[in-house]
Amino acid sequence: MTKERMIIEIKEWLKEAAGYIQVSLTNQLTVSQKSGRTDLVTNIDEETQAFFIKKINKHYPDDRILAEEKEFNTIDSLSGRVWIIDPIDGTMNFVMEQENFCIMLAVFEEGIGQLGFIYDVMRDELYWGGKDFGVFLNDQKMSTPKNLSLSEGLLGMNAYMYGENIYSAKEIGRASMGIRISGCAGVELIAMLKGNHIGYISNLSPWDYAAGLVLLEEFGFKYSNIKGTKLSFSKREYFLAATPKAYEDIQKRLSFE
């Protein structure tokens, strides 16, 4: 199976899943809490994830899956080929706004990102790409964003981190042109790919960042956990991604006291 064929298949799956999600917005959602009242899951999250798992198991039965919901949310390693899925990234936005949410899917082989897809469902905008392909918005190849410093651009940030000034988040925000908070990692990563934001600081799980990392890497962005070490892909952790210049600026301003 070539990457080209895999890309065609994944795009077809994403379009089918997006159509189902859009129709579901006209029906009654079943909304449950996971860790608390602001950590939501809906029947559509679970059904969309099950849809992708069924497709992968049918077409790629030897591959492994890491996904947000239920028994698929842990994995012992990234060896072999691993699919990393967030069926609806930004579930709170999905429930409360019915926009500003994404489907995210990544394919990793031996721990290296090969393909990444971020689909803004309500805008019908698919950001995708991977090694040796570049980055695309639908069928249009995108240009590499400018390598701007922290003081030259807008910065996406997690609301709790900013409000509680975790790791000096407020000082970092003030050093930028301003912070933006969307409540969806996919939307924030898209803003970086478009060159609208110079970075993103948040507290994320692997399915929140895996697809984005594949695309950010193609554009030369730097990324790590907040302390500058490798992301674990095994738990929620503080996350930093930015242009090379902004990444260095942010690292200098972080406080771990």
As a whole number, mean pLDDT of residues 216-229 equals 96
Does 68 show up as a binding residue in the annotation? yes
As a whole number, mean pLDDT of residues 92-121 equals 95
As a whole number, mean pLDDT of residues 142-163 equals 97
Does 208 show up as a binding residue in the annotation? yes
* Banded model confidence at residue 29, pLDDT cuts 50, 70, 90: confident
pLDDT digits (tens, 9 = 90+) for 202-215: 999 999 999 999 99
Instruction: Indicate the domain borders of the chain.
Output: 3-141, 150-253
Query: Does residue 153 surpass a pLDDT of 90?
Result: yes
Q: pLDDT value at position 1?
A: 61
Top pLDDT among 26 and 172 is at 172
Contact 52, 13 (CB under 8 A): yes
- Which DSSP string do the residues of 25-92 spell out, in sequence order? TTS---EEEEEETTEEEEHHHHHHHHHHHHHHHHH-TT-EEEESSGGGS--S---SEEEEEEEEE-HH
Residue 203 to residue 38: CA distance in whole angstroms:
15
Fold entry, domain 3-141 = Fructose-1,6-Bisphosphatase; Chain A, domain 1 (3.30.540)
As a whole number, mean pLDDT of residues 115-134 equals 95
Does 86 show up as a binding residue in the annotation? yes
Contact 186, 212 (CB under 8 A): yes
As a whole number, mean pLDDT of residues 141-167 equals 97
**What share of the chain has pLDDT > 90, as a percent?**
81
Q: pLDDT value at position 33?
A: 82
**What share of the chain has pLDDT > 70, as a percent?**
100
Residue 122 to residue 128: CA distance in whole angstroms:
16
pLDDT digits (tens, 9 = 90+) for 42-91: 888 899 999 999 999 999 999 999 998 878 888 989 999 999 999 999 98
Does 89 show up as a binding residue in the annotation? yes
Q: pLDDT value at position 2?
A: 84
pLDDT digits (tens, 9 = 90+) for 178-201: 999 999 999 999 999 999 999 999
Residue 95 to residue 146: CA distance in whole angstroms:
35
Bridge-partner residues for 106, per DSSP? 84, 116
Residue 211's region, left for phi above 0, alpha for psi from -120 to 50, else beta, is alpha
CATH of 150-253, one of 3.40.50.12780, 3.40.190.80, 1.10.443.10, 3.10.129.10: 3.40.190.80
* Banded model confidence at residue 107, pLDDT cuts 50, 70, 90: very high
